Chains A and B, each alone.
Chain A
Amino acid sequence: MNIKHIFTLLGKELLHGPRGFIITMTVAAPLLITLVVNLALGGFFSSAAKLAVYDEGQSQLVTLLKEAPQLHVTEYDSPERLKDAVSRGSADSGIILPSDFDNEIASGKKVTLTTYIWGESLAKNRTIVTATLLELTHELSMQPEPVVLVSITMGDEETIPWSRRLMPLTVMMAVFFGGLMLPATSLIEEKQKRTLQALTVTPASLLDVFIAKGIMGAILSLVMGIIILLINQAWGESPFYLLLTIILGAVMASEIGLILGTLINDMNTLFAVWKFGGLLLFGPAIIYMFPQLPQWLNYIFPTYYVTGPIMDISLGTEDTQTLIELGIALLVVILMAVLLSRLTHRLSGEVSKQTAKASEATSQ
Chain B
Amino acid sequence: MNADLIMTLIKKDLTLFTRNKFYFILTIVALLSYILIYFIMPKTMDETLKLGIYAPGIPTMENSLINEQGIEAKSFATLEGLQEAVIKDEYPVAIALPEDFFTKLAKGEKPIISVYFNASTPEEMKGAITALVNQLAYLATGQETPLEIQSEVLGPDLLGAQIPWRDRLIPMMAILILGIEILSLASIISTEVEQDTIRALLVTPLKLHHLFTAKAILGIGLAFIQVLLFMLVIGGLSHEPLTMILGLFMGSILVTGLGFLVASLSRDMMGVTTWGMIITIIFFIPALGSLIPGMLSGWAKVLPSYHLTDTISRLSNYGASFSDISVNFIIMLGWSAVFAVAGITTLGRRYR
Contacts and interface: CB of A to CB of B under 8 A. Distances in A.
Interface in A246-280: 264-269, 271-276, 279
Given A119-B156, A151-B117, A146 B26 contact: no
B292 interface: yes
A198 B145 CA distance: 84
Contact of A147 (B137, B187, B273, B281): B137
Interface string B79-95: 00001001101000000
Given A123-B70, A134-B135, A148 B112 contact: yes
A299 interface: no
A43 B70 CA distance: 20
A269 B154 contact: no
B162 A146 contact: no
Given A146-B138, A267-B272, A151 B115 contact: yes
B114 A105 contact: no
A123 B288 contact: no
Contacts of A152: 114-117
Interface string A105-146: 100111111111111101111111011111111101101011
Nearest to A140: B146
A207 interface: no
Given A40-B295, A192-B194, A110 B148 contact: yes
Contacts of B294: 50, 85, 88-91, 118
Interface string B119-160: 111111111101111110110110111111111111111111
B115 A105 contact: no
Interface string A25-50: 00011001000100011011011111
Task: Give the interface residue-count category, chain A.
Answer: 35 or more
A146 B23 contact: no
Contacts of A117: 151-154, 157
A306 to B, nearest CB: 22
B125 A70 contact: yes
B277 to A, nearest CB: 7
Interface stretch (A4-12, A181-189, A313-321, A323-331): A181-189
B330 interface: no
Contact of A159 (B123, B152, B188, B270): B123
B128 A120 contact: no
Interface string B185-199: 001101100110000
Contacts of B87: 154-155
Given A20-B270, A272-B23, A153 B188 contact: no
B273 A127 contact: no
B134 A135 contact: yes
Contact of A189 (B33, B183, B269): B269
Interface residues of B, number: 99
Contacts of A266: 20, 23, 187, 191
B83 A115 contact: no
B29 interface: yes
A40 B275 CA distance: 23
Looking at A145, A154, A160, the one whose CB has the most chain B CB atoms below 10 A away is A154
A105 B146 contact: yes
Given A122-B45, A151-B126, A157-B120, A132 B131 contact: yes
B271 interface: yes
A200 interface: no
A156 B4 CA distance: 72
Nearest to A141: B146
A263 to B, nearest CB: 8
A213 interface: no
Interface of A: 18, 20-21, 24, 28-29, 32, 36, 40-41, 43-44, 46-50, 68-71, 83, 85-91, 105, 108-120, 122-128, 130-138, 140-141, 143, 145-162, 181, 185-186, 188-189, 192-193, 264-269, 271-276, 279, 291
Top-10 shortest CB links A-B: A89-B293, A123-B70, A89-B294, A90-B294, A70-B127, A275-B30, A119-B155, A124-B70, A127-B70, A70-B128
